[in-house]
Chain A
Amino acid sequence: MSRLDPVFARSRAEGRAALIGYLPAGYPTVDGSAERLTAMIDSGCDIVEVGVPYSDPVMDGPTVQAAADLALRGGFRLRDLFRVVEQVSSAGGHAVVMTYWNPVHRYGVDRFARDLAAAGGLGVITPDLIPDEGADWIAAAAEHDLDRIFLVAPSSSTERIATTTAATTGFLYAAAVMGVTGARDRVGVAASGLVARARECTDLPIAVGLGVRSGDQAAEIAGFADAVVVGSAFVSRAGEVAKLRELAEELADGVRRPMVPSR
């Protein structure tokens, strides 16, 4: 059982997809990020991804890189992550963390899991950790009741989808396109095929991310996935809380009108 199960049970019961919003901790400031993540939840995000700013984010495009650079230049420390997660969780939000692996390795995998669980975090999305290298994380996540959210990509073989989904809990993260993060005009085609292939291996909820920026795109993905992840589009609107709320509301509306997939 995952502590995220009720979130997906509710969205399924409502005949819609869940909305997952991303913002890096420390962007634009530590308290500012907690305030914004909480606003995103109030305005319709079912789950938030709290990003860990990192010096070498190879899966991220310019928008997230610039935000991470700003957070690090502003003095962000890893211990600040737990403060942000705690603030979001105590406001009633469901928070998972998205992090490159070296900061966790450096902090200590078990210590990180312990401190994240204590802050109320529910799981970790690991863009550069595959289950093959993740035995210590898999053990620590089980010990501290955290979800381990691994990724599959359009290039993943059927065999890799099977082994990755077997190691995953909470939900599976399907990368919609081959590429880095950043808003795009079109995201749907490769993603629907990947979700279909993943469904043959698992009953886990499947979230689709990378490139989504509008309510219409969210509606399209809601037609075949259990959750829609939006990152860069939130980051680029993080300057004004009102604009963040506006986007969250538009996306929350999108996931509530799932389009029937065209064949």
Chain B
Amino acid sequence: MTSETHTDPGRDQHQHSEHDPEHGHFGPYGGRYLPEALIGAMDELAAVYEKARLDPEFIAEFTGLLRDYAGRPSLLTEAPRFAEHAGGARIFLKREDLNHTGSHKINNVLGQALLTKRMGKTRVIAETGAGQHGVATATACALMGLECVVYMGEVDTQRQALNVARMRLLGAEVIPVTTGSRTLKDAINEALRDWVANVDTTHYLLGTAAGAHPFPMMVRNFHKVIGQEARAQIVDQAGRLPDAVTACVGGGSNAIGMFHGFIDDPSVRLVGFEPGGRGSEPGEHGATLSEGSPGMLHGALSYLLQDEDGQTIEAYSISAGLDYPGVGPEHAWLKDTGRAEYRPVTDAEAMDAFQLLSRTEGIIPAIESAHALAGTLRLGRELGPDGLIVVCLSGRGDKDMDTAAKYFGFMES
């Protein structure tokens, strides 16, 4: 893939080669590839966020909600019976599945909902794949009295029907998206179209650390708490820093939050696991960093699954939350600099790990998180019995029972 990166004709011409994450430039990646009509809203959001992040009142409100509403800090749980299958390395799970609404998504959603109120906006729109971000957004909107509209690919509304019901119960309007591949990518397209038409009253509460500035930096900062807690907990519980921290990567929000707790610890490897789907052929996976090339989608330059003409190639994964052909621009930068590594994990490996964690630890992970678990089993065998790994268990698997029951044949009498 490195050779492809260097022969990409567009890449070296890009003007923002300087690394300036605070202004949305992660090396050559990031930026704002958006219609002019939305630039005013991005400027407003960046300004309101810059002010809020330094405001003790905002910080107190945000950390208070994380503690008293989301249930933070989340636990760090050792998984010894699971780890027996990883060559004896010690494995700890960062339990984002125990947060209110069942995933890490609540961290970012609470932060952005508070910003929505600060901007005086009354309506929130969001995209969702697996439904985790949609449920979290509907939850925060219910809590704060905001109108909520969630765009969800029609394919995903079917495979995640229970989450659609949860969002509607919480008072959100769920709009099935019937364009393109009818999954997460198309839900984001529809949300952007809504936003252009309604930007005066509406905040687009983007659910991952991708998109145009300030989203990648801001969403990452709202999720940094994952890595910060995990670092203190592993030092406390294991007496040392881990050899590696791992996470699944779709858009990359749980991974970037986890990685940032350890980014200044050079001895700690940062390893992201992407959806390898059914194989490495185009259209059979969502392994953007492993198989893609630099390109723009949804407002930023990053890695992208695209054809020779720059048309987006539709991603595939058994996991609705990882079924995305793009990835956050900071991950592209971490890959190119070698600070983080990214590897694909197939549907089958993920489903094996999904069942293994359930049966060895009594914890049912989200299928998204099961990709990280499967990769961690492999990494553990590489590290050997002295290895120590912290894996981000980004969400719980209740929502995946329909997919799992079909996959394992549990519904057969």
Contact = CB atoms under 8 A, between A and B. Distances in A.
Interface string B258-284: 000000000000000000000000000
B167 to A, nearest CB: 23
Contacts of B189: 56-58
Interface string B53-74: 0000000000000000000000
Contact of A136 (B8, B14, B43, B306): B14
Nearest to B31: A133
A261 interface: no
Contact of A160 (B40, B296, B309, B310): B40
Interface of A: 54-59, 61-62, 65, 69, 72, 77-78, 101-111, 127-130, 132-136, 150-157, 160, 164, 175, 178-180
22 contacts: A56-B185, A56-B297, A56-B298, A56-B312, A59-B196, A102-B312, A105-B296, A105-B301, A108-B13, A109-B9, A130-B36, A130-B39, A133-B16, A133-B32, A134-B15, A155-B38, A156-B39, A156-B40, A157-B43, A160-B40, A175-B37, A178-B200
A203 B366 CA distance: 58
Nearest to B181: A55
A175 B257 CA distance: 38
A55 B180 contact: yes
B25 to A, nearest CB: 10
Given A55-B312, A58-B189, A133 B15 contact: yes
Nearest to A140: B13
A156 B41 CA distance: 10
A144 B196 CA distance: 33
A173 to B, nearest CB: 9
Contacts of B192: 58
Contacts of B312: 55-56, 102
A159 to B, nearest CB: 10
A14 B29 CA distance: 48
Query: Which 9 residue pairs across A and B have the least CB separation, nearest first?
Result: A106-B310, A108-B9, A135-B15, A153-B37, A105-B10, A103-B310, A136-B13, A179-B197, A102-B310
Contacts of B9: 106-109, 111
A156 B34 CA distance: 13
Interface in B151-191: 179-180, 185, 189
Contacts of A108: 9-10, 13
Q: Which of B9, B43, B297 has the most CB of A within 10 A?
A: B9
B314 to A, nearest CB: 8
Nearest to A153: B37
Counting chain B residues whose Cβ lies within 8 A of the other chain, the interface size class is: 35 or more
Contacts of A109: 9-10, 13
A155 B37 contact: yes
A105 B37 contact: no
Contact of B309 (A65, A77, A134): A77
Interface of B: 8-10, 13-16, 31-41, 43, 179-180, 185, 189, 192-193, 196-200, 294-298, 301, 304, 306, 308-312
Contact of A130 (B10, B34, B197, B311): B34
Nearest to B43: A157
A56 B79 CA distance: 42
Nearest to B16: A133
B35 A128 contact: yes
Contacts of B304: 102
A162 B368 CA distance: 46
Contacts of B37: 151, 153-156, 175, 178
Contacts of A55: 180, 311-312
Given A56-B180, A133-B31, A178 B196 contact: yes
Contacts of A152: 36
B197 A178 contact: yes
A102 B297 contact: yes
Contact of B36 (A106, A110, A164): A164
Contacts of A78: 309-310
Contacts of A127: 35
Contacts of A65: 179
A89 to B, nearest CB: 22
A59 B310 contact: no
Contacts of B298: 56, 58
A164 B311 CA distance: 27
